[in-house]
């Protein structure tokens, strides 16, 4: 089994993604996540999430609709946080 730490997988849709930190972050030491919305090679809208301390590391990729539903659930307090 090969492990690729320290770089994004070879996925063309990740090239050129514009990653953004939350405006609520305010953390000067990079202790937060970044998100990027982009279109996959297949034409499907996707949302990427990554650790701001390791921008070349792995990224979680979600369909845009699923990520939007998750964020709405967080904002509504569904998870008790």
The separation between the first and the last C-alpha atoms of the chain, rounded to the nearest angstrom, is 37
Asked whether residue 57 is assigned to any structural domain, the reply reads yes
Q: Note the pTM of the prediction, 2 decimals.
A: 0.66
Residue 71 within any structural domain of the chain: yes
Alpha-carbon distance of 2 to 17, in angstroms, equals 25
pLDDT band for 69, please (50, 70, 90 cuts): very high
Whether 14 is in a domain gets the answer no
Residue 22 lies in a domain: no
- Is the pLDDT at 60 greater than 60, yes or no? yes
Q: Is residue 24 part of a domain?
A: no
Task: Please indicate, yes or no, if residue 3 is contained in any of the structural domains.
Answer: no
Instruction: Examine residue 21 and state whether it is found in any structural domain, yes or no.
Output: no
Q: How many domains does the chain have?
A: 1
Its domain, for residue 67, covers 30-75
Whether residue 6 is predicted with pLDDT greater than 70 in this model: the reply is no
* 80 belongs to a structural domain: no
- Overall average pLDDT of the 5-31 stretch: 64
Residue 30: pLDDT above 80?
Answer: no
- DSSP letters along 4-52, please? -TTS--S-GGGTT---EE-TT---TT--SEEEEEEE-TTS-EEEEEEET
């Amino acid at each position: 089994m090969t492990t690729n730490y320290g770089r994004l997988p070879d996925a063309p849709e990740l090239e050129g993604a514009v990653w953004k930190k939350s405006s609520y972050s305010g953390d000067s030491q990079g202790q937060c996540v970044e998100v990027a919305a982009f279109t996959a090679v297949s034409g499907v809208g996707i949302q990427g999430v990554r650790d701001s301390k390791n921008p070349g590391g792995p990224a979680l990729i979600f369909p845009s609709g699923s990520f939007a539903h998750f964020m709405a659930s967080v904002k509504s307090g569904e998870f008790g946080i």
